[in-house]
A and B are shown apart, each in its own frame.
Chain A
């Protein structure tokens, strides 16, 4: 049925795959060879980093919840805030979007803890959720990249460019993608298919993993993506020569982070529009993918969400990538006015 509707989007590209290392040949066959290569490198590096910890030392984590306190003895450079949350209860592990260390540092939930510290967990309904919202928006952009990367047929060449610093007030999250389509205006049905792909990807409940890698490895990982390849040295220069990578499912991307814990934190998702941008980036036209999403824990009636979808169709005012710009934040050229 979908073949009639659109010639561009491949419906079955995003299927549920277990990790590359564990899955059978039959399942990997529909993954692109590039994704297999990247995940292989990622797995090797992850294993190497785990082995380099050496003798296991213990750290004391003081958890401060809204009503209760606890002290946990965890493993240095191995245990993550998510492990602490699992000790404290399923509910805390499920609802926490990001950890707060010593009341000042936002910490990705799957990033190992380096030292003894005070620990708090933040979710979407706390009284001051601005930071959590921003992290949620960044994760949405990241997942949108994963969907855009996988949703097209093999005949369309897709290269992810970057996403701007997350700004919830702009009404939509954004990913700028290079497609070798001359002038593509997505139909309603194509947008619907994209949205469904994103929902399906989120429902697969991929943990969003985190890893810091050297510039050389990052260059090797993204050697087939000209844009990321060019951005990496600049990003590393602002980040002590390290590149921060995130992985959800089989999708790997650069971002400063932090991200939310799991892709299943996204509830309502819509990819609202894809707009061709006016830029001088070499290699082909850049399209801006825009969407709007809400966390699973926040319910909104369909009329109100319809208003948000309507607004997300307008072009997002975030900075448009050009051939000359400075890459400071993550993977993203920093808009001069970050909200």
Chain B
């Protein structure tokens, strides 16, 4: 039993990893495919929210997740991680952003570092579109906030139901205390 535990050799990603990689219709072969993905990963780290075709978004999401996860795990003094960052980020100032901004931001996250939505496509186009974003970005949310907005009708109803339940419970407790006091005073009279 001298085998290393394989699951600990690479960081486990919190997104689903495709068993087969997509070729992304690259005329130049695997190298051109990687070039495409590098462009997307760089753009994602730079802009924090991008809209693009679904397959490319899904593919580059895995590489971006792996890059951030390594940056958190090994830090900026690790040579291999630095080489990977150098490879994936075309604009070199983003290497600083990766280690100084994104790694501290995501260090305590228990979820994936990116989020992906399917985006609508305008009618004559039938290509599936997607929005890919880093979590904790400064932009307004893409989906309505159904939880924190307490003015939405279901939240109003639930809050009022909670209040009603609490009042009922307090009344029950008060009744119990009254009953206990009564029995004590009756005993004292005897």
A121 → B minimal CB distance (Å): 15
B153 at the A/B interface (Cβ < 8 Å)?
yes
Q: Are A300 and B154 touching (Cβ within 8 A)?
A: yes
Given contacts A125-B146, A311-B164, contact A298 B152 (CB under 8 A): yes
Q: How far is the CA of A294 from the CA of B156 in the complex (A)?
A: 11
User: How many A-B pairs with Cβ below 8 Å?
Assistant: 51
Stretch with Cβ within 8 A of B (4 or more), from A71-79, A110-118, A127-135, A277-285: A127-135
The CA-CA distance from A8 to B32 in the complex, in Å, is 75
Q: With A and B bound together, what is the CA distance between A127 and B164 in angstroms?
A: 25
Q: Is A145 an interface residue (CB 8 A)?
A: no
Q: How far is the CA of A127 from the CA of B158 in the complex (A)?
A: 17
Whether B161 sits at the interface, judged by CB under 8 Å, is: yes
* Nearest residue, chain B, Cβ from A294: B154
Q: How far is the CA of A128 from the CA of B152 in the complex (A)?
A: 8
B154 with A125: CB separation less than 8 A: no
Size class of the A contact interface (CB-based, 8 Å): 20 to 34
Q: Are the C-beta atoms of B156 and A168 separated by less than 8 Å?
A: yes
Interface majority SS on B: helix, strand, loop or mixed? helix
A311→B165 CA distance, assembly (Å): 9
A292 interface contact, C-beta 8 A: yes
Q: Does B157 lie within 8 Å of A129, measured CB to CB?
A: no
A307 nearest CB neighbor, chain B only: B161
B146 — which chain A residues lie within 8 A by C-beta?
125, 298
Q: B183 in the interface, Cβ–Cβ < 8 Å?
A: no
Pick the residue among B151, B158, B160, B164 that contacts A129 (CB under 8 A). Answer: B151
Pairwise interchain contact A308-B151, C-beta atoms closer than 8 A: no
Among B144, B153, B161, B164, chain A packs the most CB atoms within 10 A around the CB of B153
B160 proximity list for chain A (CB < 8 A): 169-171, 311
Interface code B129-170, partner A: CB below 8 Å = 1, 0 otherwise? 000000000000000101001011110111011001100000
Other 18 A-B pairs with CB < 8 A, given A130-B151, A298-B152, A311-B160:
A125-B146, A128-B151, A129-B152, A133-B156, A168-B153, A168-B156, A171-B160, A294-B153, A294-B154, A298-B153, A300-B154, A307-B158, A307-B161, A308-B154, A308-B158, A311-B157, A311-B165, A314-B164
Question: 14 pairs across A/B with beta carbons < 8 Å?
Answer: A133-B156, A168-B156, A168-B157, A169-B156, A170-B160, A171-B157, A171-B161, A171-B164, A298-B146, A298-B154, A307-B161, A310-B161, A311-B161, A314-B164
